[in-house]
Structure 1
Amino acid sequence: MWGFFRRGGARRRLIVGLHGAISDAARHPALYTGLHVPDTVEGRFESLSLHVYLVLRRLDRLPPPAADVAQELVDSIFAELDASLRELGVSDMGVGKRMKKLGASFYGRVSGYDEAMKAQAGGDAALRHALARNILGAAGAGEEDLAAAPLARYVRAAEAALARADLDALLTAGPPFPDPGAFAGAPLTEDRPA
């Protein structure tokens, strides 16, 4: 497969396929109807950012050429965002400014989610808080964080499923994201573990 992957056209098709699978997962209706992701342009960007982050996190733990795949995936995502802005009629000068802002937002999310995923104290409190702040648009900790509990459970299940996928599986079958509908329901209360 790696000889095939080295060829430009074949390599590009694999990246486009991976990008498409991530985009499909980020648009799953249950994320919006059951896990409280806002069905807005911003909410969809946040969902895409979260799903790309989860795949990048997995790629970071795989041997070469996973790092090349990760970079090409990010390039593909941002090329599509650029094209989408242009389709919406944003001027050339405006596209550059918006792309810088989107890039800063994306990398800020990646950093925040990475810190939250690594946090051990408080179970998934840090993850719930990051998801509430970034995706649900909540300003502070509290009930908003609890509202993010189903989404946090989905993220942890996605992380576990991705941990079982090697690079071949990611590129040929796509990321094994779980069904977000399985995580919908009442938010956790503070006395129940995440």
Structure 2
Amino acid sequence: MISFRKLFRTGPDPREARRPLWEAVIATARAPHWYTEGGVPDTLDGRFDMIGLVMALVLHRIDEEPAHTAAGVQLTELFVSDMDGQMRQIGFGDMVVGKQVGRMMGALGGRLGAYRAPDGSDALRAALIRNLWRGKAPGDVELAHVMASVAALRGALAAMPVADLIAADRLPGAVP
């Protein structure tokens, strides 16, 4: 389906400038350590939950510099577009896709709030358990791995200038 935006666009899609960053979010979220050492379920839901986690951390960093707000919007639009395409690819119809994308955006919004909790905090621990393991706490080793990995990724993102981040094709420091 062609959107009106595509019909009347005269130049390249500005979101495509964020495509390398979006692919870096996906690659970071799909890093095997989250699922092996971290015990995050390697399922459709688990993968979505990891994308939501990494996406939230990246968007938090972008939001720290208001001059780059458009980049955060473009990245979020790529998230929506990709999730729409993935659902259609696995067989969801038009009537269901819109509702599911709405739910996914709601989930991302919730995670944006929950993952603002400080590294090592009980609030972050609770948010990770609720979102990554659907409320059933993993073992201490797995939770410690994910908490350390989140802190490492957040620290590496904080050390990276936002202008470099929004042009990046990989994320720094994703594994402690």
TM over 0.5: yes
1:8 and 1:69 map into 2 onto residues whose CA distance is 17
Equivalent position SS for 2:65: coil
Q: What is the match of residue 72 of structure 1?
A: 74
Instruction: Tell me: higher relative CO, structure 1 or 2? Use CA pairs within 8 A at least 6 residues apart.
Output: 2
**1:49-128 matched pairs, under 5 angstroms:** 49-64=52-67, 66-114=68-116, 116-117=117-118, 123-128=120-125
Structure 1 gaps of 5+ residues are: 1-6, 183-194
1:39 is the counterpart of 2:42: yes
1:63 and 1:101 map into 2 onto residues whose CA distance is 27
Structure 2 gaps of 5+ residues are: 1-9
What TM-score, normalized to structure 1? 0.77
Q: What is the match of residue 133 of structure 2?
A: 136
Kindly, what percent of the aligned residue pairs are identical?
A: 31
1:166 and 1:8 map into 2 onto residues whose CA distance is 28
Asked whether the equivalents of residues 165 and 175 of structure 1 are also in contact (C-alpha less than 8 Å), the reply is no
2:161 and 2:13 map into 1 onto residues whose CA distance is 19
Equivalent position SS for 1:43: helix
2:17 and 2:132 map into 1 onto residues whose CA distance is 29
Equivalent position SS for 1:9: coil
1:77 and 1:151 map into 2 onto residues whose CA distance is 23
RMSD: 2.2
2:59 and 2:24 map into 1 onto residues whose CA distance is 14
1:145 and 1:60 map into 2 onto residues whose CA distance is 33
| Superposition deviation, residue 8 in structure 1 | 5.3
What TM-score, normalized to structure 2? 0.84
Asked whether the equivalents of residues 20 and 170 of structure 2 are also in contact (C-alpha less than 8 Å), the reply is no
| Superposition deviation, residue 98 in structure 1 | 1.1
Matched pairs, number: 166
2:13 and 2:76 map into 1 onto residues whose CA distance is 18
| Superposition deviation, residue 50 in structure 1 | 0.4
1:168 and 1:32 map into 2 onto residues whose CA distance is 30
